[in-house]
Structure 1
């Protein structure tokens, strides 16, 4: 019988154990390194997500660094004006005509530019009277001759002018400027550019007056006739308000604005309904939506008037949110009186300034 060397067998077993231990060690080290690297990548990506207040200083720093760089010649008068008042390529814009000056509404609104120290503001004047008033009162203004489409005649001056804004915005976006569009029935308390996230194509104020209605919720639907399949779900949120939104300058937003300008030049339609249809209706069949990404502005920073008059003002003082950025009097018809009262409430320190006003438009509503 052949002899068996027990020492050789033990040596092979020892060698195998050594190799296994080495491989296990290398695997553990690799796993640890992978976790560390993954964590670093995750942290770096999180750090890249824009947050309010960060981007304004970043833009300012980049402008400072490139201050001595060659500046391209403006393509038209509008671009020359924008390069002067908003070199960081974003502007707070209001579209106004002489009707907004009759009871001092434009004056009340533009005081917000000064109160919140917003240098890159601009009024797009639709007539010479508005342009002259702005120039006399130290407001950045540019006049543009725009005709109201035949389809919008008879809808009322406010709606007709509002329908013009998408075509106006298109001119800004084509030049590469992002725009924070604001109606004139809005009180400005803080520089809004310090509270934008800038991570979406459109960042807009909502007509929703609580978290579920503003930010969205999954709702149930019940059809008993379906038996086993009677239950279904759908997503619900209130519309974005077309009187206060920030829009980036890119091909998707240019497509969105072009569609809206075209639709409202042909259809007698509320601009806010068209705005939300083009943003939220899903692509289907031969129809392809502009596919813009959307962020809803925080409801206690960019606040609508129902949120304020029906909820916030009735809370105990310690439960009220801090000073809002902008308040839009969109739910109430007595706009200027409420606008002035809101300014007294937040900027004037008058805790009773809102007391005379009902919650809704009718007396006695809370």
Structure 2
């Protein structure tokens, strides 16, 4: 039996009392910890909502801050955003850049008829002159005028190339405002609403110049250097370039970085926009150079089809082996663009099985 000094006033041994005190303290500590976590999590979530996420534009955060405590959306920051809110409230837009030259032979009309046929309401013609704006308004086509000057470095490259080189700077205006853009050249026949056929799982989703599975989607190729003896064999990955005339950009900081680089380069270098576009997307980070690190998806070649795929392959197949109606067909491989556009439309939806017969496979007569 213990000594009386071994017991406290409650009759417990000192060891039991000490254990009880630690249990109470531990309980309070655990409770405090839980409360602390809950409070910290609430504070973190509230603050995190205002911190730019990796794919979130600074302008998006600015809007969030501006609208805190207000139920009404933030007022448009400029005339372009006001128009975008009206015609593309879901923040996705089919955009084509055009000037009066595209109206001369009716190509702009053929292109916009495709927009109407596919019921693409969230579209815009970015007009580079007032004549184009007037034509669009007269024909029920969404248009916005932007007065731009061709960079000195692009002078003498030809009107089409010079205008094409400006499109990355134009696209910056839309991405900065938070709009994802499907950019389309006007030498494209539209048959279905393209927004119903996008995956939207990548920063850049674009048409390829590849004309079969290997050239479009890529393949592992071998390299042989006999002088290396035992190490003579190596492998590399190869695919055709992405086409800079048809691609979808998600509005985020990586695509904004990509556009900023391209706009700068093409305002300072006499360079083909498609080459620059592919260099900035695919050149790997190395040393002090860091690429924009955009993720890339290639559009399916029988949905977003280039003209080599159609004229060199698809049209020669038995009808039972031809793929279903494409979404868009880009006449990128051939110079007689408008004539082929009209023929492709007759072939696919006009019921004319011979509409393509007069056209060679390549640009030269007699090619299949």
Superposition TM-score, scaled by structure 2 size: 0.81
Specify which of 145, 163, 166 is matched with residue 164 of structure 1.
166
Q: Per-residue displacement from partner, 1:288-330 (whole Å, max 9, x unpaired)?
A: 0000000000000000000000000000110000000000000
Q: CA deviation at 1:269?
A: 0.1
1-side partners of 2:183 and 2:74: how far apart?
26
Q: CA deviation at 1:81?
A: 0.4
Q: Which residue of 2 aligns with 1:197?
A: 199
Q: Which residue of 2 aligns with 1:273?
A: 275
Q: CA deviation at 1:158?
A: 0.2
2-side partners of 1:278 and 1:174: how far apart?
19
Q: Which residue of 2 aligns with 1:182?
A: 184
Q: Gaps spanning 5+ residues in structure 2: where?
A: 1-70
Alignment root-mean-square deviation, CA: 0.5
Q: What pairs up with 1:42-191 in 2 under 5 angstroms? A: 70-191=72-193
1-side partners of 2:73 and 2:190: how far apart?
32
Q: Per-residue displacement from partner, 1:134-174 (whole Å, max 9, x unpaired)?
A: 00000000000111000000000000000000000000000
Q: Which residue of 2 aligns with 1:291?
A: 293
Q: CA deviation at 1:70?
A: 2.5
2-side partners of 1:70 and 1:240: how far apart?
41
Q: CA deviation at 1:71?
A: 2.5
Q: Per-residue displacement from partner, 1:214-249 (whole Å, max 9, x unpaired)?
A: 001100000111111100000000000000000000
Q: Which residue of 2 aligns with 1:215?
A: 217
1-side partners of 2:90 and 2:308: how far apart?
34
Larger Rg computed on CA atoms: 2
Q: What pairs up with 1:308-323 in 2 under 5 angstroms? A: 308-323=310-325
Q: Which residue of 2 aligns with 1:336?
A: 338
Specify which of 345, 348, 354 is matched with residue 347 of structure 2.
345
1-side partners of 2:225 and 2:298: how far apart?
32
Specify which of 237, 245, 256 is matched with residue 239 of structure 2.
237
Q: Which residue of 2 aligns with 1:29?
A: none
Superposition TM-score, scaled by structure 1 size: 0.81
Report the count of equivalent residues.
298
Q: What pairs up with 1:241-252 in 2 under 5 angstroms? A: 241-252=243-254
Specify which of 303, 309, 324 is matched with residue 326 of structure 2.
324
Q: Per-residue displacement from partner, 1:36-77 (whole Å, max 9, x unpaired)?
A: xxxxxxxxxxxxxxxxxxxxxxxxxxxxxxxxx622210000
SS at match of 2:235: strand
